[in-house]
Amino acid sequence: MTFDYQVFFMDGMTVNEAITENEDGSFTIFINSNLCDSKRLKAINHAIRHITGRDFEKADVQQIESSAHS
């Protein structure tokens, strides 16, 4: 599966990462800039698992997170 995405590091986030699906089908991943490098990489990988898992089409948040963490 291929997809386009961009990553932004942001101050003031209360979570490690957030993802938005854009109108053109690409994704924007927002990463908490206060994370250390290893946690930033983990957050990006976590976000990519959500994208490749097509989690934006699912409704059960518990199942989505369980799958993304396995």
Query: If you average pLDDT over residues 27-55, what whole number do you get?
Result: 94
The pTM is what?
0.79
d(C-alpha 17, C-alpha 39), whole Å? 10
Instruction: List the helix and strand counts (H, then E) for the chain.
Output: 2, 3
Q: What domain range is 49 assigned to?
A: 5-69
Closest CA to 29 of 12, 10, 14, 11: 10
- pLDDT(10) > 80: yes
Count of domains forming the chain: 1
pLDDT value, residue 26: 95
User: What percent of the chain lies above the pLDDT cut of 90?
Assistant: 66
